[in-house]
Amino acid sequence: MIEVNDLKKEYADEGTSTTALSGVSFSIDKGEFVSIMGPSGSGKSTLLHILSFLDRPTGGSYKFQGKSIDDMDDHELAHVRNKDMGFVFQSFNLLSRLTVYSNVEIPLLYSDISPSRRKNLIEDAIKAVGLEEKIHTEAGKLSGGQKQRVAIARALVTDPNVIFADEPTGNLDSKSGLQVMEILESLNKKKGRTVILVTHETQTAEFADRIIRIKDGTVESDKKVVEKHHHQDPLK
């Protein structure tokens, strides 16, 4: 589904150039759950921006669903991004005065889906994250964990092929963080969604099947997660 080969990214700034990525290669299959880890400044955010079409590489190749990013103009990239990609951010990015329903509806506002189908999609997405009873509550009145679940529902509503989650537990206490990760995990296991998670927390990363570690702009390691510890943790 995703194939990057020798991916490079340099930022030019007043005559000096900074290398954010210096030759990253890996592929991700449909239905995989992959964590991208790395310290601050390692290039993981840059990599996420390129994978999610927010930025273009300065070298190497990136194919999404078999199509090279070089063959798509900005309009096409935006279209694929809206149709095939769902996003969950550390800061939720919700509109606090709108209800849960209206927040989840936002990605569908410009689509040509019939109103009845739209309503079903929104209700299904909210049900998938277990927030049916909050459907008409203003987002600003929810707890952090509930807000992040609304953000996941909003990411799901377009029925994307891949969900990108950028530090989704970064602003949450451990119990809420665990709930959010369990929802992402079940979307992957039960619904076959491809999930790409960027995190610096090992415990969060271990929900994935595979962890790609980035250091100094290159892939330091790319390993399957053999043992998942999070389910047996008696303190949670």
- Cα gap 152→157, rounded to integer Å: 9
Mind listing the pLDDT tens digit for each residue in 133-168? Answer: 999 999 999 999 999 999 999 999 998 999 999 999
Q: Which residues contact residue 101 at a Cβ distance below 8 angstroms, ignoring those fewer than 6 apart? A: 122, 126, 135, 136
Q: Using CB atoms within 10 A of its CB, is residue 146 exposed (0-12), middle (13-18) or buried (19+)?
A: buried
**pLDDT confidence of residue 15:** 82
pTM to 2 decimal places: 0.89
Which of 126, 166, 156 lies closest to 142 in space, CA to CA? 126
**pLDDT confidence of residue 34:** 97
**pLDDT confidence of residue 231:** 52
**pLDDT confidence of residue 235:** 37
Q: Give 53-56 contacts, CB < 8 A, sequence gap 24+.
A: 53/77, 53/78, 53/80, 53/81, 53/85, 55/9
Which of 224, 217, 226 lies closest to 18 in space, CA to CA? 217
- Cα gap 184→199, rounded to integer Å: 14
**pLDDT confidence of residue 233:** 44
Q: Which residues contact residue 207 at a Cβ distance below 8 angstroms, ignoring those fewer than 6 apart? A: 33, 35, 181, 182, 184, 185, 197, 228, 230
**pLDDT confidence of residue 230:** 55
- Cα gap 4→16, rounded to integer Å: 26
Both tokens assigned to 179:
């709930």
Mind listing the pLDDT tens digit for each residue in 163-189? Answer: 999 999 988 999 999 999 999 999 999
Average pLDDT of each block of 10 consecutive residues along the chain (236 residues)? 96 87 96 94 91 94 95 92 90 93 92 91 94 96 95 93 93 92 92 92 93 95 80 42
CB 196 within 8 A of CB 18: no
- Cα gap 123→101, rounded to integer Å: 8
Both tokens assigned to 105:
């509806």
Task: Provide the 3-class DSSP secondary structure of residue 92.
Answer: coil
